């Protein structure tokens, strides 16, 4: 079995009208055994920039620590927050540094740019960026998520409808994946506010 599937995860981000949503499951497992059901895999970089890290949890946390460190250095030197595009390039560069011994994670980055334009992007474990206009998915439930998002997504949704759509896509996908689930976590980010919600799901 792939090392990317050792802990199990489901990650998805969607673009709406002047807003975005990023969602994940809450399970941390060791293969088929569930260790925790309150695991965080979406991290805040700043008020309008979030990163979700799917794949091997230990590498995700290490990578997150390095990203926070680099972002803090940037803030000190530039006296401002990073733009999502810049941050995506930073993540990509850090991943590619480890080209021949990679961090076993697939990141999903979502943020609002300086004119509040939503930005979403995913990457493979060695930093190949994939920018998308509609939605991106990652983790062990990625195939199910592709199917669900492809059917449920429509462009220019308002924040409330976007929340409903991303939640339905996440819930129906994780129920068909043994390695992810046990609850969900959704962030809906608009220029004025961030709504963070926890979802209850099947516990099996």
Partner 1 sequence: MASKQHANWSPYDNNGGTCVAIAGSDYCVIAADTRMSTGYSILTREYSKICKLADKSVMASSGFQADVKALQKNLAARHLIYQHQHNKQMSCPAMAQLLSNTLYYKRFFPYYAFNVLGGLDSEGKGCVFTYDAVGSYERVGYSAQGSGSTLIMPVLDNQLKSPSPLLLPAKDAVTPLSEMEAVDLVKDVFASATERDIYTGDRVEIVIVNAGGIRREYTDLRKD
Q: Which tokens go with 133? A: 């206009």
* Residue 135 to residue 155: CA distance in whole angstroms: 10
How many residues of this chain bind partner 1 (CB under 8 A)? 14
What phi and psi, each to the nearest 5 degrees, are found at residue 76?
Answer: -65, -45
Report the residue number, 94 or 152, with the smaller CB distance to partner 1.
152
Taking CB under 8 A as the criterion, the residue among 44, 66, 98, 176 binding partner 1 is 176
The answer to whether residue 130 forms part of the interface with partner 1 (CB under 8 A) is no
Any bridge partners for residue 51, and if so which?
43, 109
Report the residue number, 62 or 172, with the smaller CB distance to partner 1.
172
Are residues 110 and 20 in contact, defined by beta-carbon separation less than 8 angstroms?
yes
Binding to partner 1 (CB under 8 A): which residues in 150-169? Answer: 150-152, 168
The answer to whether residue 148 forms part of the interface with partner 1 (CB under 8 A) is yes
* Residue 156 to residue 178: CA distance in whole angstroms: 32
Indicate the SS3 state at residue 150.
Answer: helix
The answer to whether residue 147 forms part of the interface with partner 1 (CB under 8 A) is yes
The answer to whether residue 178 forms part of the interface with partner 1 (CB under 8 A) is no
Segment lying near partner 1 (by CB under 8 A), choices 26-34, 48-56, 68-76, 140-148: 140-148
């Amino acid at each position: 079995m792939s090392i990317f599937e050792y802990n199990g995860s489901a990650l998805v981000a969607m673009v709406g009208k002047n807003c975005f949503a990023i969602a994940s499951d809450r399970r941390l497992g060791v293969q088929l055994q569930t260790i925790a059901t309150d695991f965080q895999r979406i991290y805040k970089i700043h008020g309008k920039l979030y990163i979700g890290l799917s794949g091997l949890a230990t590498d995700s946390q290490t990578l997150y620590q390095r990203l926070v460190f680099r972002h803090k250095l940037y803030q000190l030197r530039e006296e401002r927050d990073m733009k999502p595009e810049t941050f995506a390039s930073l993540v990509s560069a850090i991943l590619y540094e480890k080209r021949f011994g990679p961090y076993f994670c697939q990141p999903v980055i979502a943020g609002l740019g300086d004119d509040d334009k939503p930005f979403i992007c995913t990457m493979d474990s060695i930093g190949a960026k994939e920018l998308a206009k509609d939605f991106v998915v990652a983790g062990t439930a990625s195939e199910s998520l592709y199917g669900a998002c492809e059917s449920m997504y429509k462009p220019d949704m308002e924040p409330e409808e976007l929340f409903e759509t991303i939640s339905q896509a996440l819930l129906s996908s994780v129920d068909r994946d043994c390695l992810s689930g046990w609850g969900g976590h959704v962030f809906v980010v608009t220029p004025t506010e961030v709504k963070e919600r926890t979802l209850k799901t099947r516990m099996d």
